[in-house]
Amino acid sequence: METESKMKRRGAGLLVALAVLLVTAAAGFLAGRWWMMERYPMLKDPAFANLDYTYREIMSDYLYGADSSELIHGAAKGMTASLRDPYSAYYAGEEGKEYVQRYDDHIVGIGVEIREEDGEFVVTSAYKGAPADEAGIRKDDVIVAVDGVSMKGKTMQELVSRTRGEVGTKVTITIRRDGLTEPFDVTLVREEIPVTTVYAEMLDDGIGKVQITRFAEGTGKEFGKAVDELLAQGMRGLLLDLRSNPGGLLSSTLEVASRLIPKDKVILEVVYKDEKRRITYTSTQSKAWDKPITVLIDESSASSAEVLAAALRDSAGAKLVGMKTFGKGVVQTFRPLKDGSVLKLTESEWVTPSGGRINKVGIEPHVEVGLPEYASLPVLPTDEVLKVGSLGQDVRTAERMLEAVGYDPGEPEGIYDERTAAAVERFQRDERLTPTGTISGRTAFKLMDRLRTKLKEEDPQLKEAVRTLRGMIEGK
């Protein structure tokens, strides 16, 4: 039997042990809390309690129920939206995967270009050698269903999502074709389809014209191949068309610049937050370039297109022709996350070789040349019918288009009258369309196509760029 003194000593020991445990637990809690605060800084912000409360209340009490992942993705979208930066964004899940694919040098699909017309999806062209081409799908075929799912009422994005997929997988397309009484099915095997961003042709007098539509993963290699082919044909000067180029990957831009700018000359400088960090990118040219260069730019030349135009101007003596550029002088990085989501964040600003900053300013051409007024007309709706009695901006646009391609509708006042209808009928007969005197679907598309053809034939900016380059070739 224990003595009273022993029991007292044991009780005291238990109290000490309990105190030690409590102190240890408290210390562990505080250490854990400190670690959490350091690991997740937003926990320090009082507003985080509001976020946590909102999340818990929605998940607990919202009448219609909510998806936890969607709420969290929505919060991330809200964070980037609060920056009020048009170039920073959060793309959730599949959106992120689609965003990254924009910069791939290939897509996986069936290889068709499609336009939306009267709520239907019409094939504009099939890429040569692609599954659609091999299966006989052709221009003006209408895609009415994919894998048995009707495309009526669907968006272009929904159609694209259904036709794309994994290499080697099958997809069944239901086609309606003029002249056939019933739609028919075509089963295709998806393949990798190269994405072309560089188009080249030899003009008169040894002028090689290269158009870059955007800077994707394979643009540098495409450009190198195009230039080599033009040089083999006797190119004397390069006309680089960057009009309507929205930019893209900086790495591809540097590849193109290094082909044309002398080794070790500056292409651009990138300046980070608070200007504490700067990176200067210089040309890594391995083969000397000795041809004069003219660059076509316009109001839609942006970002990487502006980087290249400024670099060629400052470091390669190129002449710029066209209109002042868009003025996007900031650089974004995109960070893929484990679930496919992407955070795109503005992290730096770029500076031209001459030290200029162009964000919200743009780059001025050496020779300013605009386009005809009709080049800036808005797109006609293809899912509406314009007819006698119709009024408004769409009618005025149609009248100005008709006037531009040689069909007099009278004074463009936005009033669809009998004279307008007569002009439309003449246009329809010339285009071998049913002469209804109304504008919708096929007629609207053909009218816009004629306008594009006219602009391509006249193109005053291109003509001035050719004149400028000829002068450079001849040393004038």
* Catalytic residue ranges: 303, 328, 332
Torsion of CA 257, 262, 264, 266, to 10 degrees: -50
User: For residues 226 and 256, is the Cβ–Cβ distance under 8 A?
Assistant: no
- Positive/negative CA dihedral, 246, 250, 255, 260: positive
Q: Rg for the chain (alpha carbons), in Å?
A: 31
The neighbour count for residue 233, using CB atoms within 10 Å, is 12
Tokens of residue 97, six digits:
């995967």
- Positive/negative CA dihedral, 239, 245, 250, 251: negative
Instruction: Calculate the CA 26 to chain-centre distance.
Output: 54
Tokens of residue 117, six digits:
């017309």
Whole-number Å distance between alpha carbons of 88 and 74: 15
Tokens of residue 164, six digits:
């794309």
